[in-house]
């Protein structure tokens, strides 16, 4: 057997070595009277010859799949000796506290751990299944260039200087968006690619400078066709993986569907976690004339008063509630009003009994009239034991706080069940959004997204009203995929560029190639691109994208193993015609 020395135990009379390869671990027994085991160090690479023997009854280990046997070693070879380790590879508990940069610097050791191995095995199986699903449906897998021209997805480009003409640069693709559309003009009809995308943007736990998408595009399709394809793929691949890997996850159900407007109104965001209910409720109309100045004044100033139930929150102390208020302030709220829904007339101080048999106390309850309280309880679909939380703000700013508060309450109440994956579509996004700093309209998705035919009439007069044939797939509160039906008519594309403030000359310089291509019989087409790293994160319940990548970057884009990025040779500067200013 070949493998690595996982754990070594010297029990005086005998030495036990757990030998590990990618399929598992088996115990070796070495008798020091016959063989000298001293050279066997943790994580050295070994070849072993011996006999399989049944362990004695009392030494069998039911927790190990090979726990009934051991290998009595006749001979071994050290194929690759190992230096003392930077961290205890075989001890999963201790590994949890090892500095991540160190783990990535010694990734080849970190990845030897069975837990890390499993992640990459799962990733490999996921990609194989996605390929199979698409191959069976007539898709071609086609590679597109990495050295290309800027294709906007809302991030900065990574640029590569072109040696032969100093001052010219390739851009690395933020996505293969333009090429896949060109492949449709080229008559490929169904394309996919396991595509590496490069985006220079602020790093977060779920972002890396380079990441992988399952990029796809189809011709002669409607939005519904794309939705059905991706839902079919998502459900099939996920449920197969759950079964094959014995994952502790419930099989996934058909995807839910929400429009963007519904999602914002009910959950405050375009990527709601629907593992739990807790919808935002609105009480603006009920408190317009309220004696509670905070609400009345806010409504007069144009704010809306919306809120959330915190089930079981009536047991929270005042300090807990002010902690929750601080949480809201962190995300821009001016404050958070609240009151408790008591369980009975003697559940705490100052309980107010209401004619519907319910009781409230504390917070702003004493400033609200009986009829206001009754309307609020009914809007909130409140239950005894709740804490009701209110945010007064204009719609978008309020949403920004309420969606985070909703997730926070969900987490605190244990409603974000790690055994559930709740996939769904968010549909009918607006085409553009106003960028107040830039004083211009920006694409919500990208400039090739088709406006809804029925909204095209508002493109020049009321752009904010135009919805797009654009869709996202979300899962457990995060975005998985984004896609759209594309513009295939040059006249519509020109109107969109005009709206985005991209003048004729810039259009030609940046997108002349694609605009020209669309003049040669471009078919209607659309596509989508789910993130592969994100998908594995969902399956494994990981919060950190680095955990599902073989060689991630740390910090703001550093590779501690390669020590990249790194300075270049002075000769290379000159060759590229570059100079530090
Ligand atoms: N190119 C888009 C993205 O990277 C996906 C698409 O529209 O198909 O999000």
Give the per-residue pLDDT at 581.
Answer: 81
Can you tell me the distance from the alpha carbon of 483 to that of 71, in angstroms, rounded to the nearest whole number? Answer: 54
342 occurs within a structural domain: yes
Can you tell me the distance from the alpha carbon of 69 to that of 505, in angstroms, rounded to the nearest whole number? Answer: 75
For atom 8 of ligand 1, the residue with the nearest CA is 528
Give the per-residue pLDDT at 186.
Answer: 98
Ligand 1 centroid–CA 479 distance in Å is 12
Can you tell me the distance from the alpha carbon of 552 to that of 554, in angstroms, rounded to the nearest whole number? Answer: 7
Which one, of 470, 482, 469, 423, lies nearest residue 232 by Cα? Answer: 423
- β-bridge mates for residue 526, sequence order: 218, 485
Q: Which of 447, 470, 482 to mutate to test the pocket of ligand 1 (most atoms within 8 A of CB)?
A: 482
Q: Say what the alpha-carbon torsion angle 228, 231, 233, 234 is, to the nearest 10 degrees.
A: 170
569 occurs within a structural domain: no
Going from the C-alpha of 294 to that of each of 301, 307, 321, 322, the distances in angstroms are 11, 14, 18, 17
Looking at 412, 447, 471, the residue that finishes a domain is 412
Expressed as residue numbers, the domain containing 455 is: 117-258+423-548
Number of Cβ within 10 Å of residue 73's Cβ equals: 23
Q: Are 274 and 421 in contact (CB under 8 A)?
A: no
Q: Based on the fold, state whether residues 167 and 210 are members of the same structural domain.
A: yes
Q: Are 319 and 420 in contact (CB under 8 A)?
A: no
Which one, of 89, 79, 95, 93, lies nearest residue 109 by Cα? Answer: 89
DSSP 286-354: GSTT-S-HHHHHHHHTT-EEEEEEETTGGG--HHHHHHHHHHHHHTT-S--EEEEEESSTTSSSSPEE-
Q: Based on the fold, state whether residues 159 and 37 are members of the same structural domain.
A: no
Give the per-residue pLDDT at 520.
Answer: 95
Q: Based on the fold, state whether residues 383 and 458 are members of the same structural domain.
A: no
Q: Based on the fold, state whether residues 346 and 401 are members of the same structural domain.
A: yes
251 occurs within a structural domain: yes
Q: Based on the fold, state whether residues 294 and 407 are members of the same structural domain.
A: yes
Q: Based on the fold, state whether residues 283 and 403 are members of the same structural domain.
A: yes
For atom 9 of ligand 1, the residue with the nearest CA is 482
Q: Based on the fold, state whether residues 211 and 296 are members of the same structural domain.
A: no
526 occurs within a structural domain: yes
Give the per-residue pLDDT at 325.
Answer: 96
Q: Are 159 and 168 in contact (CB under 8 A)?
A: no
Ligand 1 centroid–CA 482 distance in Å is 5
Ligand 1 centroid–CA 483 distance in Å is 5
User: Residue 355 maps to which CATH number?
Assistant: 3.30.1360.30
**Lookup: tokens for 75:** 């001979």
Q: Are strands 281-282 and 359-361 parallel, antiparallel or unpaired?
A: unpaired
100 occurs within a structural domain: no
Q: Which residues line ligand 1 (CB under 6 A)?
A: 153, 175, 177, 482-484, 527-529
How many domains, in total, are found in the chain? 3
Q: Based on the fold, state whether residues 436 and 461 are members of the same structural domain.
A: yes
- The values of phi and psi at residue 69, to 5°, are -125, 170
Q: Based on the fold, state whether residues 254 and 205 are members of the same structural domain.
A: yes
**Dihedral class, residue 199 (left if φ above 0, else alpha if ψ from -120 to 50, else beta):** beta
Q: Based on the fold, state whether residues 466 and 537 are members of the same structural domain.
A: yes
Which one, of 87, 88, 6, 2, lies nearest residue 40 by Cα? Answer: 6
Ligand 1 centroid–CA 577 distance in Å is 34
Q: Are 131 and 111 in contact (CB under 8 A)?
A: no
Nearest ligand 1 atom to alpha carbon 180: 8
Nearest ligand 1 atom to alpha carbon 481: 9
Ligand 1 centroid–CA 240 distance in Å is 26
Please list the ranges in the chain whose pLDDT falls under 70: none
Can you tell me the distance from the alpha carbon of 434 to that of 558, in angstroms, rounded to the nearest whole number? Answer: 34
User: Residue 134 maps to which CATH number?
Assistant: 3.30.930.10
């Amino acid at each position: 057997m070949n493998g690595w020395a996982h754990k070594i135990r010297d029990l005086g009379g005998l030495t036990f070595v757990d030998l590990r390869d990618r399929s598992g671990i088996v115990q070796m027994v070495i008798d020091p009277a016959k063989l000298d085991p001293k050279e066997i160090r943790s994580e050295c690479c070994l070849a072993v010859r011996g006999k399989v023997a049944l362990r004695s009854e009392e030494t069998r280990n039911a927790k190990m799949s090979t726990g009934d046997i051991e290998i009595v070693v006749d001979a071994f070879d050290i194929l690759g000796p190992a230096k003392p380790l930077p961290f205890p590879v075989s001890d999963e508990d201790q590994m949890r506290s090892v500095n991540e940069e160190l783990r990535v610097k010694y990734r080849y050791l970190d990845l030897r751990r069975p837990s890390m191995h499993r992640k990459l095995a799962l990733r490999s199986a996921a990609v194989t299944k996605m390929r199979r699903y698409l191959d069976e449906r007539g898709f071609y897998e086609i590679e597109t260039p990495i050295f290309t021209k800027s294709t906007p997805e809302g991030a900065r480009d990574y640029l590569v200087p072109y040696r032969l003409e100093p001052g010219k640069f390739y851009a690395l693709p933020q996505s293969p968006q333009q090429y896949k559309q060109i492949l449709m003009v080229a008559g490929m009809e169904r394309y996919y690619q396991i595509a590496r995308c490069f985006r220079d943007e602020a790093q977060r736990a779920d972002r890396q400078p380079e990441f992988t998408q399952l990029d796809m595009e189809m011709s002669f399709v409607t939005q519904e066709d794309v939705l059905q394809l991706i839902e079919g793929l998502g459900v099939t691949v996920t449920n197969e993986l759950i079964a094959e890997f014995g994952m502790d996850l419930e099989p996934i159900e058909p995807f839910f569907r929400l429009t963007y407007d519904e999602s914002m109104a009910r959950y405050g965001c375009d990527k709601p976690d629907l593992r739990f209910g807790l919808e935002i409720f609105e009480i603006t109309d009920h408190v317009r004339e309220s004696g509670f100045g905070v609400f009345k004044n806010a409504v007069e100033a144009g704010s809306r008063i919306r809120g959330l139930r915190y089930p079981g929150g009536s047991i929270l102390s005042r300090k807990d509630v002010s902690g929750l208020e601080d949480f809201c302030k962190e995300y821009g709220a001016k404050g958070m009003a609240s009151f408790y829904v008591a369980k009975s007339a003697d559940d705490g101080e100052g309980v107010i009994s209401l004619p519907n048999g319910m009781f409230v106390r504390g917070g702003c309850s004493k400033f609200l009239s009986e009829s206001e309280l009754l309307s609020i309880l009914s809007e909130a679909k409140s239950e005894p034991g709740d804490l009701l939380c209110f945010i007064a703000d204009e719609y978008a700013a309020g949403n920004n706080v309420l969606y985070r508060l909703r997730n926070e309450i969900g987490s605190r109440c244990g409603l974000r069940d790690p055994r559930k994956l709740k996939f769904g579509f968010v549909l009918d996004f607006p085409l553009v959004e106003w960028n107040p700093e830039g004083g211009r309209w920006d694409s919500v998705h990208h400039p090739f997204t088709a406006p809804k035919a029925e909204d095209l009439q508002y493109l020049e007069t009321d752009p904010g009203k135009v919805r797009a044939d654009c869709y996202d797939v979300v899962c457990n509160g995060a975005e998985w995929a984004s896609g759209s039906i594309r513009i295939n008519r040059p006249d519509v594309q020109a109107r969109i560029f005009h709206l985005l403030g991209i003048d004729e000359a810039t259009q030609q310089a940046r997108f002349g190639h694609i605009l020209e291509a669309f003049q040669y019989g471009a078919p209607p087409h659309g596509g989508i691109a789910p993130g592969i790293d994100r998908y594995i994160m969902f399956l494994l319940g990981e919060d950190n994208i680095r955990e599902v990548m073989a060689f991630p970057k740390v910090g703001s884009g550093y590779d501690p193993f390669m020590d990249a990025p790194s300075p270049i040779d002075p000769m290379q500067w000159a060759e590229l015609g570059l100079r530090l200013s």
